[in-house]
């Protein structure tokens, strides 16, 4: 599935887009305390906090770097408490499409720090974000709001139409496979819409029956 995602993504007209959006979303794996105790995911899955829904959850996080059309460029599945800056830095360095540099990444205001900025500089990547307290105004802040809405819409597609929230995985392998299934399905839809000249590349309406 990883190979198919990469192959289909590379065969689209948007794979080399200069602007990418970055975010993570919870992948809940259990709710009851008894299920948590017995789960084969214990040790990887953990309790984390979802700020957008103001609640705690037990499970993992899907970290996603994608184009404005929702095409996955890089992704990782981590514990719920994983540092998003560290994960993004690893993705930038470990993904050939990102390590080559020249991309603008739109992430949230928590993507900061000396080591993180060094990774960006080394790969010639740029990351507009709001200035933190004591910082000078940063260029590109006007791009943040519409782009953040875009990545939230991508996650809505994964969780709504592609049922990521009802993945049903009970083991590490099971969860990984089910997450990759959703990413592959979205990539395949974008590829097909791109090849057939559709305007909305992420639209799944034609396949959602």
What residues form DSSP beta bridges with 48? 57
Given a contact cutoff of 8 angstroms between Cβ atoms, the answer to whether 71 and 14 are in contact is yes
CATH number, residue 78 = 3.30.420.10
pLDDT of residue 101: 74
Domain that holds residue 66: 2-207
Q: Are strands 104-106 and 19-30 parallel, antiparallel or unpaired?
A: parallel
Q: Six-digit token pair at 139?
A: 């260029």
Within 13 Å and on the Cβ side, how many CA atoms surround 41? Answer: 27
The token duo for 72 is 């996955």
Per-residue model confidence as pLDDT tens digits over 53-68: 788 999 999 999 999 9
What's the domain count of the chain?
1
Q: Give the predicted TM-score (pTM) of the model.
A: 0.89
Reported as a single tens digit per residue, the pLDDT across 20-52 is: 999 999 999 998 988 898 899 999 999 999 887
What letter would DSSP give residue 20?
Answer: E
């Amino acid at each position: 599935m990883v190979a198919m995602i990469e192959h289909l993504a590379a065969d689209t007209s948007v794979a080399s887009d200069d602007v990418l959006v970055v975010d993570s979303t919870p992948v809940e794996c259990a709710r009851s305390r008894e299920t948590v105790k017995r789960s084969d995911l214990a040790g990887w899955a953990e309790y984390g906090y979802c700020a957008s829904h103001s609640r705690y959850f037990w499970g993992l996080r899907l970290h996603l770097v994608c184009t404005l059309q929702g095409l996955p460029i890089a992704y990782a599945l981590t514990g719920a408490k994983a540092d998003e800056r560290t994960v993004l830095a690893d993705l930038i360095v470990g993904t050939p499409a990102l390590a080559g540099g020249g991309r603008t990444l739109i992430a949230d205001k928590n993507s900061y720090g000396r080591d993180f900025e060094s990774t960006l500089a080394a790969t010639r990547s740029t990351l507009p974000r709001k200035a933190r307290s004591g910082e000078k105004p940063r260029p590109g802040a006007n791009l943040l709001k519409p782009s953040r809405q875009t990545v939230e819409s991508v996650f809505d597609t994964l969780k709504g139409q592609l049922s990521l929230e009802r993945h049903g995985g009970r083991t590490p392998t099971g969860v990984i496979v089910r997450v990759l299934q959703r990413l592959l399905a979205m990539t395949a839809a974008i590829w097909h819409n791109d090849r057939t000249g559709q305007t909305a590349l992420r639209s799944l309406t034609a396949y959602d029956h």
